[in-house]
Structure 1
Amino acid sequence: MISPKDIYHQEAEELLADIEEAVLDLEAKPYDNGCIDRIFRSIHTIKGSGAMFGFDKISEFSHYIETILDYVRSGKLQVNSKFIDLILASRDHIKSMLNPGEDLILTEDERSIRLIKSFQSILPQDLRLDKLKSGLLKLEPEKLEPEKNIQEKESFDDVLSLSGKHQEQTFHILFRPGLDILINGTDPILLLNELRNMGHCIIKALTGDIPLLKNIDADKCFLAWEIFLITEYNKNAVYDVFIFVKEGSQVIIKNIQPSREAEELVPRLGDILINRGDAAPQDVNEILDKYQEKIGESFIKSGIVTPSIINSALIEQKFLTKEAGKKGAGSLRVSSNKLDNLINLVGELVITQARISQLAKQADDIEEIDLEKKSASMGLLLADLANPIEILERLTADLRDCALDMRMIPIGTIFGKFRRLVRDLSAELGKDIELELYGAETELDKTVIERLNDPLMHLIRNSIDHGIRTPDTRVQHGKNRTGKIKLTAAHKGPHVAITIEDDGMGFDWEAIKQRAIEKGLIKENAELNQNQIFSLVFLPGFSTARQLTSISGRGVGLDVVKQEIDSLGGTIQIKSITGKSTCITMLLPLTLAIIDGLLMEAGDSYFVLPLSLVAECTEIKKEFIDADHERNMLLIRKELIPFIRLKEIFAISGAKKSLADEDLIDHHLAVVRADGFHIGIVADRIIGNIQTVIKSLDKRYQNAEGISGAAIMGDGSLALVIDISGLIRCAIKEEEMFYVK
């Protein structure tokens, strides 16, 4: 049951998003009273509802901002860049008050006071504190006065530093220093303090290796540490903390983000122990069957793990639960028209069910009549049953479409936030950049949109940092001083195409190729086409940046984008003209809940290929497969296509099932599109098209490469949904291992 406070929280989040959009519109049109009125109405609603539901501090601060906005509406205060910066920072402050505990540096009151001081510094003298007699003035008045002898720029820098956090991640770190780390002049405590400065962390000392006092050597380090860190920095940056002690020390860093599945938001202790390798699945099952106590106490009682391991797992569980609580199960606003349509369909379904129940009763009555009349009556009954079954099939399809339609939301819900990103980063880098948005009304599944946020963030940041240069540099290359980034969404058949296009300097083919040679990814004399060269930038750790910045250059980002798009069942392509432009296109399915697939059989196992990626199907005789001499290549329609045998890649035993009408056909092949080229998937049999409801795999199998989920078929059997890109990676690894041997 959703509480009134949850409703307020959701409404406030939507109003804050609208405020940000309106403020950015106001920055472009400083004299647009409509934008001011829009901001004022949203702030007024946040204030009034906040007071009603007990969010008093939000209400008080919003009242102050409302007063400032009223000065603008009446012409007493002018809109300028400082005003825009402060309104955006105030919007961020209200958002942080909706999520208490995220800020670990300043209290809510301290943040409010800093913002009010900065507002006071831009107000005319006659509009300062003596004219503001309500709201936040319940705080100590002397704290709200602008500080004397302080540089105005410093005041603004303090305020602006309060806003704009990147996506946080949670890491589990095991740091076991070498015994001689102290002798070598390194103090491990300094490293731990550096981690503390990167975010919120809990540090637990591991004392199990400390010997008895009589045997201890004071020059050696017997301590180890387990750290749980929530930070906006990426994994490479965390590794860099230990860069000078990696030799001789054990450093293990794992990302422990919670599952996206709503029902798994609170992680189970047994699963954490299994994932960390502290217990086997059979141990957990045995504990659950044998003991009645809490699982942690049961593990200690059984002697399988030590109390310190349980304590460590409990800390991790607490961290994961906190992260999951931030994400929440989510909610979705649905138009009344869609709900009316759902109710109508359910009504028709009830009528059809009543009709089928009536016919079932008639079938029972037929059992009681004599044999001569029974045959004729059954024939009439089957004829009568055909119509409601046909109606039932139609209603099932309509209900499916209606349910999916209710999950569809405009992609503009995440497009808007990138205006702020472009504004802030371009100012930080001294660049002049405009963001143009097209197709914001294009609808996409809510789950897909939520998971698109990070990939789009990475791509836009790369365009800002690498693609578009400073105004003076652009003029030297014959370009306008202002760079442009176009973010576009449009329907393309059963997909949605999202493109990020910039008029920057484009990708440097030669630089990419040279960097790949330096890293040993390709040979110096390798001949690669454009698509093959561009595919290199999606490899983990690949970057052409020679200098690290706060935005990019560590070689993370594009590989994360590729993995996320692959997991969504989409594809990504790059088109770039050196010195002119870059266009990155992502092709995504409309929904992840139900897909049209191609059902294949290999041995006694079933697999589903996403139908949207299948180009064609064909049959192959055994001699053609054997003739390739284990090169795994076939010539199809004058194109040389590599292929993967499902039975080999998944180590499936068992011969093909007997098929009388297909005895002459040894293999079936589906040609799919992947990463800009075609590849064949070989199976024993292609059964045909199937519409499947995708189920996620158990947590312990979520990292299985080549598989993105599972589907339950009509007869109750299981079919695995193939992740094409993951399958290709598996095949490449196996081939490399084969040649090494």
Structure 2
Amino acid sequence: MTASDPTAAFRVEAGELLDQIEEALLDLGHCLDDHDLIDAVFRGLHTLKGSGAMFGFDALAGFTHHCESAFDRVRKRLAPATAELVAVILSAQDHMRALLDGGADASESVGAEILARLQMAIDGAPAVTDQAKPARRGWRLTFRLPPEAMANGSNPLMLLDELRELGDARIVALTDKIPPIDELVPTECHVGWAVELCGDIRRSDIEDVFIFVMDDMLLEIEELADEGEAQASLEPCAPAVPIDHAPCGDAPVAPAAPTATTEEPAKALPKAGETVRVPAERLDLLMDRVGELVIVQSRLSQLAHGGAGGGNQVLHSISEEIERLAGELRDTMMVLRMVPVATLFGRFRRLVHDLARDTGKTIELTTEGETTEVDKTVMERLADPMVHLIRNSCDHGLEPAAERVAAGKPAIGQVRLSAKQAGGEVIIAIRDDGRGIDRDRVRAKAEAQGLIQPGQAVSEHDVLQMIFHPGFSTAEQVTNLSGRGVGMDVVKRTIESLRGTIDVTTVPGQGSTISLRIPLTLAIIDGLLVRVGTARYVIPLSAVEECIELSPEEDRRSHGRSLITLRDRLVPFMRLRDMFETRTEPDPHQKIVIISTGADRVGLVVDQIIGSHQTVIKPMSPVHCDVTIFAGATILGDGNVALILDVAQLVALCQHREERRRAAA
């Protein structure tokens, strides 16, 4: 998107507007008599219609006009807000998105079907009368547009025409702010207007006329008490020019110079927007450049601290300064890419609303920790897995209302989304208070598919992980929501591609929790650089708990069981030199790096701990993508490549080896 592409800019802003309309509709579904929400939906539709027509999206504007008219009737209490009306407008909003994108779903037949449903939703219910609100006598308003209004495309005469359409209007132009001719700027708007509107008109009707310029203008609205006041209300205290009811093309001519009047204090206009919309691809490009800078800085640091530049104090000082600046730039770049998970959680309100209608269940979605931030790339890739998990919770997890009541539960099923940061990871949990996962049923299905042998000793963790196996499903019948055994497999593959892990806990009759542990970022991490044999590897620093020394005596004593006692707790460990088959003699003083994922702790035996390292993550080549114990690679300061260890895979591998050892014993 460029500054010269107004259509692309409109699509972005219209998408945000549709999100706001959807949010207001979902809130309205819980409180159908909330007139503030009704007005919010109407204003959103009104703005979308006007903007769409302005940018040439005539089909969108025409379709939105019908929805706006329907909500206008609700707003004026000529029809009630109903759950069916909310559902129809939500469907209409999907069609608006299709019209906005020009997709294949934007067919006239789809739009016609939605409008037919909309007509039934409006006409099928009796009109609402509001005896508590008396008819309006009228309104008196004064407004002044900002000086740059006409240069920005606003036409005051069109605003006056819209006011005339609301009722009997008398309009007077206020000319007291017009400067002398030698100081007048022709492109600026200096005229104000005083308007008297008589009739049964709502204040919100007047505000809707100024919806596009409301934030920057001066607008005063006062209700008229009676007809006597209405007749005398427009006696101007400053020179003014009456405007008759001629067409807008006959513009009034203002006097050349105004009479001196008492100056009113000018209303301070809001400051211009302090945020800048930047396309995502530009942030990605900037992130790549920062990564390259970090690599070059690492090479400079190595050159300054050793080799030919080791004795050069000036080079040493410059290296430290560039290291500081590169670190600050990296941290700033990370902040730019971080977005709150509220933007992700907000997408699922509509999903749960539709699932409740499809399944006939009453479901309430609650969220916690919406301010937790995560990298935008991670956020985008989390959307699809979470859709599958929420579908499973609503379809498989939650029971129908009658079954819940019979079990002593509330009829309303609960789905809860939560997020929290833990070190360099974010933990996102999907909880439901449904029937829970039947472990025996999962095991029986796994045995039937040959995934485990009958009678084989399998931990509860491994049994629950079976639900993520391709083609695995315990559903008795396939529905349009689930049952084919493909969704959870997609979840596992996506989370693992993000270097994350999935944990499942369940309590029969009380519900299940699926926790996703995801790195905060996929671009640059702080790592611990270690040596195993002659090769160097990077361990994500966020997973490192501590480092201890492994003496030769303990090394010999631990062979065969690979366990150490750490503060009265047994911790399994693995020798990376054996795993990587280095075929070199171990160092006399080996080190154990204790890593953890959640409650699981594992030790990694290395030959040397080199130190911390800013790690720019490069993806593995397609040839090596099946080597799951590596999360990627990075370029060191000397130009060599170091592989980044996948902590979650190493912990799982160590636990698997320990379980096999126990089973063999």
Give the alignment's TM-score, normalised by structure 2. Answer: 0.65
Instruction: Show the counterpart of 1:692.
Output: 615
Does the CA contact (< 8 Å) of 2:547 and 2:593 recur in 1? yes
Q: Give the superposition deviation at 1:578.
A: 1.3
Q: Distance in 2 between matches of 1:42 and 1:420?
A: 17
Instruction: Show the counterpart of 2:21.
Output: 19
Q: Give the superposition deviation at 1:124.
A: 3.6
Instruction: Show the counterpart of 1:99.
Output: 101
Does the CA contact (< 8 Å) of 2:601 and 2:651 recur in 1? no
Does the CA contact (< 8 Å) of 2:434 and 2:511 recur in 1? yes
Q: Is structure 2 residue 375 aligned with structure 1 residue 445? A: yes
Q: Is structure 2 residue 658 aligned with structure 1 residue 709? A: no
Q: Distance in 1 between matches of 2:459 and 2:381?
A: 31
Instruction: Show the counterpart of 1:617.
Output: 547
Tell me the amino acid that sits aligned with residue 120 of structure 2: S
Instruction: Show the counterpart of 1:41.
Output: 43
Kindly indicate whether structure 1 or structure 2 has the higher relative contact order, using CA contacts under 8 Å at least 6 residues apart.
2
Does the CA contact (< 8 Å) of 1:572 and 1:675 recur in 2? no
2:391 paired residue among 461, 476, 487: 461
Q: Distance in 1 between matches of 2:562 and 2:640?
A: 32
The CA deviation string for residues 368-419 of structure 1, in whole angstroms up to 9 with x for no partner, is xxxxxxxxxxx9x958x88776554443322222111111112111211211
Tell me the amino acid that sits aligned with residue 489 of structure 1: A
Q: What aligned pairs does 1:405-554 form with structure 2 within 5 A after superposition?
A: 405-554=335-484
Does the CA contact (< 8 Å) of 1:425 and 1:464 recur in 2? yes
1:671 paired residue among 586, 594, 598: 594
The secondary structure found in structure 2 opposite 1:579 is coil
Tell me the amino acid that sits aligned with residue 88 of structure 2: L
Q: Distance in 1 between matches of 2:463 and 2:124?
A: 61
Does the CA contact (< 8 Å) of 2:602 and 2:654 recur in 1? no
The secondary structure found in structure 1 opposite 2:617 is strand
Q: Give the superposition deviation at 1:676.
A: 5.5
How many residues were matched structurally? 483
Does the CA contact (< 8 Å) of 1:649 and 1:730 recur in 2? no
Distance 1:67 1:679, change over 3 A: same
Q: Give the superposition deviation at 1:336.
A: 6.0
Tell me the amino acid that sits aligned with residue 87 of structure 1: I
Instruction: Show the counterpart of 2:237.
Output: none
Q: Give the superposition deviation at 1:616.
A: 3.4
Q: Is structure 2 residue 57 aligned with structure 1 residue 55? A: yes
The secondary structure found in structure 2 opposite 1:444 is strand
The CA deviation string for residues 194-224 of structure 1, in whole angstroms up to 9 with x for no partner, is xxxxxxxxxxxxxxxxxxxxxxxxxxxxxxx
The secondary structure found in structure 2 opposite 1:490 is strand
Q: Distance in 1 between matches of 2:77 and 2:448?
A: 61
Q: Distance in 1 between matches of 2:609 and 2:450?
A: 40
Q: What aligned pairs does 1:214-613 form with structure 2 within 5 A after superposition?
A: 335=275, 382=313, 392-613=322-543
Q: Is structure 2 residue 641 aligned with structure 1 residue 718? A: yes
Q: What aligned pairs does 1:14-163 form with structure 2 within 5 A after superposition?
A: 14-103=16-105, 108-124=107-123
The secondary structure found in structure 2 opposite 1:695 is coil
1:681 paired residue among 558, 579, 604: 604
Q: Give the superposition deviation at 1:529.
A: 4.9
Does the CA contact (< 8 Å) of 2:46 and 2:68 recur in 1? yes
Q: Is structure 2 residue 562 aligned with structure 1 residue 633? A: yes
Q: Distance in 2 between matches of 1:125 and 1:676?
A: 57
The secondary structure found in structure 1 opposite 2:484 is coil
Q: Distance in 2 between matches of 1:334 and 1:695?
A: 34
Q: Give the superposition deviation at 1:126.
A: 13
The CA deviation string for residues 79-121 of structure 1, in whole angstroms up to 9 with x for no partner, is 1122112101110001112233443xxx622222222222233
Q: Distance in 2 between matches of 1:649 and 1:78?
A: 70
Identity, % of aligned positions = 40
Tell me the amino acid that sits aligned with residue 454 of structure 1: D
Q: Give the superposition deviation at 1:623.
A: 7.2
Q: Give the superposition deviation at 1:479.
A: 0.4
Of stretches 41-50 and 411-420 in structure 1, the one that deviates more from structure 2 is 41-50
Q: Give the superposition deviation at 1:483.
A: 0.8
The CA deviation string for residues 484-540 of structure 1, in whole angstroms up to 9 with x for no partner, is 111112333433222212111122233333433444444544455543443333344
Q: Give the superposition deviation at 1:4.
A: 2.0
Distance 1:421 1:675, change over 3 A: same
Q: Distance in 2 between matches of 1:640 and 1:126?
A: 69
In terms of fraction of residues, the more helix-rich structure is: 1
Q: Distance in 2 between matches of 1:579 and 1:485?
A: 15
The secondary structure found in structure 1 opposite 2:420 is strand
CA-atom RMSD in angstroms: 3.8
Q: Is structure 2 residue 597 aligned with structure 1 residue 655? A: no
Instruction: Show the counterpart of 2:172.
Output: none
Does the CA contact (< 8 Å) of 1:411 and 1:442 recur in 2? yes
Distance 1:681 1:558, change over 3 A: farther
Q: Distance in 1 between matches of 2:497 and 2:107?
A: 39
Tell me the amino acid that sits aligned with residue 115 of structure 1: I
Instruction: Show the counterpart of 1:151.
Output: none
Distance 1:726 1:559, change over 3 A: farther
Give the alignment's TM-score, normalised by structure 1. Answer: 0.58
Distance 1:697 1:93, change over 3 A: same
Q: Distance in 2 between matches of 1:675 and 1:516?
A: 26
Q: Give the superposition deviation at 1:41.
A: 2.6
Structure 1 residue ranges without an equivalent (≥5): 128-332, 340-345, 347-378, 657-661
Q: Distance in 2 between matches of 1:126 and 1:663?
A: 83
Structure 2 residue ranges without an equivalent (≥5): 127-272, 280-285, 287-310
Distance 1:33 1:538, change over 3 A: same
Of stretches 553-562 and 496-505 in structure 1, the one that deviates more from structure 2 is 553-562
Distance 1:511 1:125, change over 3 A: closer
The secondary structure found in structure 1 opposite 2:477 is coil
Does the CA contact (< 8 Å) of 2:573 and 2:654 recur in 1? no
Distance 1:455 1:511, change over 3 A: same
Q: Give the superposition deviation at 1:646.
A: 4.0
Distance 1:124 1:574, change over 3 A: closer
Distance 1:338 1:636, change over 3 A: farther
Q: Give the superposition deviation at 1:596.
A: 1.6
The secondary structure found in structure 1 opposite 2:371 is coil
Distance 1:720 1:551, change over 3 A: same
Distance 1:113 1:518, change over 3 A: closer
The secondary structure found in structure 1 opposite 2:441 is helix
